[in-house]
Structures are given as C-alpha cells and as structure tokens.
Amino acid sequence: MTTLTASPLTATDRCDRCGAQAYIRATLVSGSDLLFCAHHAREYEAGLRAIDADIYDEAERLSVTPQTAALDER
C-alpha cells in the first residue's frame, strides 16, 4: 500500500455535504476525495472507516486561537 502525503486543507476547501469549511479529507480506495466539515466527518466516520478510507484530519485547527485574537484579549 502506498501512503501519499496529503496537502493541507485551505479556506477554499468546502464540505461536500453542507458547504462549510472542510477540515477532513477522506480518500477512498478508488482515489476519489471527499471533504467534510468536522460535524459531517463525525457523522460519517464509521462508514468511511468501514470502507477503508484514508482520513486526513485537521479538525484540531478549530481549537487554535489565532494570534490576533489572543492579543485582543489582553
């Protein structure tokens, strides 16, 4: 099995289900990608794992405070 390095998701990557910003990419065995927001990734995670999709998850970015927001709180 070949492991590919996934490119980072950007603000232009949108959830295939609802159009929100995508933080998770699921690559299917066929090579097709599905993009999901964190909410829909959680909803479909079990099914994606059942079909052996490769899941690239950047959802931890949702809990990171941007530098400018941290400065504004002082």
Res 4: pLDDT: 53
Length of the chain: 74
Q: Give 15-63 pLDDT, tens digit per residue.
A: 999 999 999 999 999 999 999 999 999 999 999 999 999 999 999 988 8
Residues with Cβ < 8 Å from 36, sequence gap 6 or more?
A: 15, 16, 17, 22, 23, 24, 25, 26, 44
Res 74: pLDDT: 57
